[in-house]
Structure 1
Amino acid sequence: MIKQLFKRNKKRKYVSIEQKKEIDVPEGIMIKCDSCKKIMYSKEVIKNNHVCYNCDYHMMMTAHDRIESVIDKGTFEELFEHITSVNPLNFPKYEEKINKDQKKTNLKEACITGVGEINGSKTAIGVMDAHFIMGSMGSAVGEKITRIIEHATANQLPFILFTASGGARMQEGILSLMQMAKTSVALKKHDEAGLLYIAYLTHPTTGGVSASFASVGDINISEPGALIGFAGRRIIEQTIGEDLPDDFQTAEFLLEHGMLDMVVHRKDMKKTLGQILELHTTNDQGGEMRC
């Protein structure tokens, strides 16, 4: 009997490398969390608004997913979708990069703009997508954002902008940097009309975007753990000659130092925006703010 316990199981099957390749899980079914490295079913992560259900890490969302999660079904109307980038400085292989990302992301540019409703409240909205050339802001992105702000002003609508960007697009040089001023002027006119602007900063929001329209909201909101800043951490440390706190340039750090009004979990995103919009909507009967 003792011999039977230590007897090698001759029926055990060993799988070769070639056989393993044949039984690999198809691409796209599983996803790994960038924070805790847990491997999860993609469908479950999508149902959870792209938030890791193990460590609560907020993964980057596409612009399409963001709109689907926050805008009431069937109410979104895209505007200015025809605006796309050109190559004004004849930067080498810039058109190839744009075409490649257009195919990869199913986007024409690094942001989507339009109008829709959030819990019944109509609003203009812009959503940047870091999957398209890292959400960088070129002339087309700046023009789309400016036009949707002007549309909101002309139609007396609040405006919500979800930011996600690596900053200004280097391939367009000074033309890209000019978008910082152009969008800020449009927002100033929107403000002078007495209208609401909500800046919703998501991971990552850096460079020229963080230094312009992402930082001037009437209400500035972010998601847990989002990276928000202008220059990179290493550059700042080299410049000032000091080590920075571990949580420097995180949403929580900015909230603590008065740069944000609130940090909202993604599961509460639509509810929070709906409440803010409702509070700032004019009562048609009494003509007073419902605050």
Structure 2
Amino acid sequence: MERVTISDYKIETSIDLSKQKSVEDFNLSKKELEKELETTRVQLGELQDRLYAHGKYAVLVCLQGMDTSGKDSLIREVFKDFNARGVVVHSFKVPTELELNHDYLWRHYIALPARGKFAVFNRTHYENVLVTRVHPNYILGENLPSIHTIEDVSSEFWDSRFEQINAFEKSIAENGTLIFKFFLNLSKEEQKNRLLRRLNKPNKNWKFSPGDLKERKLWDIYKDCYQDVINRTSKVHAPWYIIPADNKPAARCIVASILLSELSTYNDIKEPELEPEIKAKISVYKNELENE
């Protein structure tokens, strides 16, 4: 999508999240945006086939955002034309007992994509410096040797956790994983509209939880935490992109366009060449099949 200028969304300096826009429409209708996305995602699907055949890079797509920011539908629409073998989606919920018996990054390590594949993290390792920071009592459930009370969850603890996350991403990037981190920037008013829609439409009621309203009351705290996360962890090898999320079709177009544009800069992602002796006999093989 030529209208998308990546520098408008890519975070390369410290930002004030309150000054980032939450809505974009490119002066296009919903139908026009959907058409733009369709064109882009077909090209993305073709690129994914080449990446799979090339087999030297993996792609990790991280999606974060407030409740109702559109993560699920974005995944459904942006990756619709991917070969199912080449993309895996992981939704990280409350840690299981098994996961809590390992360090907090373990469940993210084992979900990383193999070379040649995409993985989409629907909520990510950043929950460990977002939800846990808003609710530090959750840290007690990790049974860490140095944490006995909430008072032990100090600013030094969070500094250390940020260092660990940055080291995690640097390590996987150096080993061939291309990292894209998208924050879906939803306005508080639009979240209210989407929650009301869930309550007003019987077929959407199942999506609603009273907990959504409790978390909504912590909106400003979450925003401060997201700003800190983005400013501390947007790196050249693992950049954050802030995506205006009030308009879902536009948000999907922006994410798809960024992925296509950035991945297209890797000129070495090509299908492998056939062995010379096989390539020289292609006409022989075709003739054999045609004359069965």
Shorter-normalised TM range: 0.3 to 0.5
Rg larger in structure = 1
- Structure with greater helix share of residues: 2
Scaled by the length of structure 1, what TM-score is found? 0.34
Does 1 or 2 have the higher relative contact order (CA < 8 Å, sep 6+)?
2
